[in-house]
């Protein structure tokens, strides 16, 4: 008996694995492969659940379809604290456990707490370079450390601001998370004239209504390990970032950070979702009905998976960034133009579902 929620789209496979030697527990969910092989990153966190990975895999189905790249949706998770366990041993054990599905049904990529190093280890253990994307350049990869996801988020935010007639120059922005995505989103948005006034990490939020200096913030994070060591600003609790009065709020770390408990605190005119599923559906609906324009995760943060496709096609860095820009801008505009009552998610999902259902019908997976 199938014990997990399912619908006509999937999931096709839910693979839960355990390695008694290392203690590694992991899961891969291949949601839908009608448009191509299941593609999605490996998340390495202590509290990952199968249900969370299923939700992330479904988001990848829509993300890849909306990006109009020939991938299906999938995702993986490894349960463990990457600072406490033998990360390489866990990654190799996980690769061995799911090897029969790679790369014929699933291609891995980096996600939370996995980088080009882990993608190199994964491909090495599988024994095939096409087992993963986001690998080091020395292995023919386009590592996500180049900033493809953050660049895409920034482009999506800029496109949405222009659509909503909010001037990019001087627009106030708050960014949750200052890892690979948040740093590059800030870099590009500040280069275009926006004013990032708040950034948070696990230690707290640094806030300065006059704006934060990107280079100084990077130095503070690098030298002290937290944005709160930045000198020119007020330190607030991490969660305080969501209630700041800004033009654009960018949640860019963990899922479900804007909840029923803090949604009423949100004062931003626009939310651009850099993280995967940072807002529960019912909360997103509440904010949309309040007039907040929300660009959902599967539109805004597709830069990483577009980069993955570019890597498999053998593109160089310049060609990859051009592909990311073209697809992110086009698809953000398309969803915004088709939305009704400010519901961008519904418009984007409708476009993605049309594409997935068309592929499923052509492959005889559903009747039209």
Closest by alpha carbon to 31, among 367, 363, 356? Answer: 356
Q: Is 83 a catalytic residue?
A: no
Question: Quick one: how far is CA 36 from the chain centroid?
Answer: 19
Closest by alpha carbon to 110, among 149, 137, 73? Answer: 149
Out of 6, 8, 39, 75, pick the active-site residue.
75
Tell me the CA distances in angstroms from 287 to 21, 280, 344, one per residue in order: 47, 11, 12
Contact 265, 293 (CB under 8 A): no
- Rounded distance between C-alpha atoms, residue 98 and residue 318, angstroms: 33
Residue 151: count of CB within 10 angstroms of its CB: 23
Take residue 213 and report the two structure tokens written for it: 């200096």
Residue 209, helix vs strand vs coil: coil
Residue 335, helix vs strand vs coil: helix
DSSP output for 263-324: GGG---SEEE--SSS-B-HHHHHHHHHTT-EEE-HHHHTTHHHHHHHHHHHT--HHHHHHHH
Beta strands in the chain (DSSP E): 13-19, 24-32, 38-39, 42-45, 72-79, 106-107, 172-176, 195-201, 204-207, 234-236, 248-251, 270-272, 293-295
Q: What residues are annotated to the active site?
A: 75
């Amino acid at each position: 008996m199938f014990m997990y929620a399912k619908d006509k789209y999937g999931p096709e496979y839910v693979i839960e694995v355990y390695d008694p030697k290392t203690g590694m527990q992991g899961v891969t969910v291949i949601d839908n492969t009608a448009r191509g092989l299941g593609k999605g990153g490996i998340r390495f966190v202590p509290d990952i659940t199968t249900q969370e990975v299923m939700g992330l895999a479904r988001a990848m189905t829509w993300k890849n379809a909306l990006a109009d790249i020939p991938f299906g949706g999938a995702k993986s998770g490894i349960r463990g604290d990457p600072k406490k366990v033998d990360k390489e041993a866990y990654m190799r054990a996980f690769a061995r456990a799911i090897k029969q599905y790679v790369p014929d049904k699933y291609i891995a990529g980096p996600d939370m707490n996995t980088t080009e190093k882990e993608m190199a280890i994964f491909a090495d253990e599988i024994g095939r370079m096409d087992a993963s994307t986001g690998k080091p350049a020395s292995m023919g990869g386009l590592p996500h450390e180049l900033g493809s996801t953050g660049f895409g988020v920034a482009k999506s935010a800029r496109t949405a601001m222009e659509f909503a007639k909010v001037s990019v120059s001087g627009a106030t922005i708050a960014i949750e998370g200052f890892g690979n995505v948040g740093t590059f989103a800030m870099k590009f948005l500040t280069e275009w004239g926006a004013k990032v006034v708040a950034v948070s990490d696990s230690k707290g939020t640094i806030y300065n209504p006059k704006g934060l200096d990107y280079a100084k913030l990077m130095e503070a994070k690098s030298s002290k390990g937290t944005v709160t060591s930045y000198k020119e600003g007020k330190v607030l609790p991490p969660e305080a970032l969501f209630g700041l009065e800004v033009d654009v709020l960018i949640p860019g770390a963990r899922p479900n950070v804007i909840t029923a408990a803090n949604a009423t605190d949100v004062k931003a005119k626009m939310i651009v979702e850099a993280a995967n599923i940072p807002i529960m559906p019912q909360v997103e609906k509440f904010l949309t009905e309040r007039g907040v324009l929300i660009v959902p995760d599967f539109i805004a943060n597709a830069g990483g998976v577009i980069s993955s496709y570019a890597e498999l096609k053998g593109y160089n860095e310049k060609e990859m960034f051009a592909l990311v820009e073209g697809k992110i801008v086009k698809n953000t505009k398309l969803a915004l133009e088709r939305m009704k009552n400010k519901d961008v998610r519904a418009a984007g999902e409708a476009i993605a579902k049309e594409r997935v259902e068309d592929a499923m019908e052509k492959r005889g997976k559903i009747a039209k």
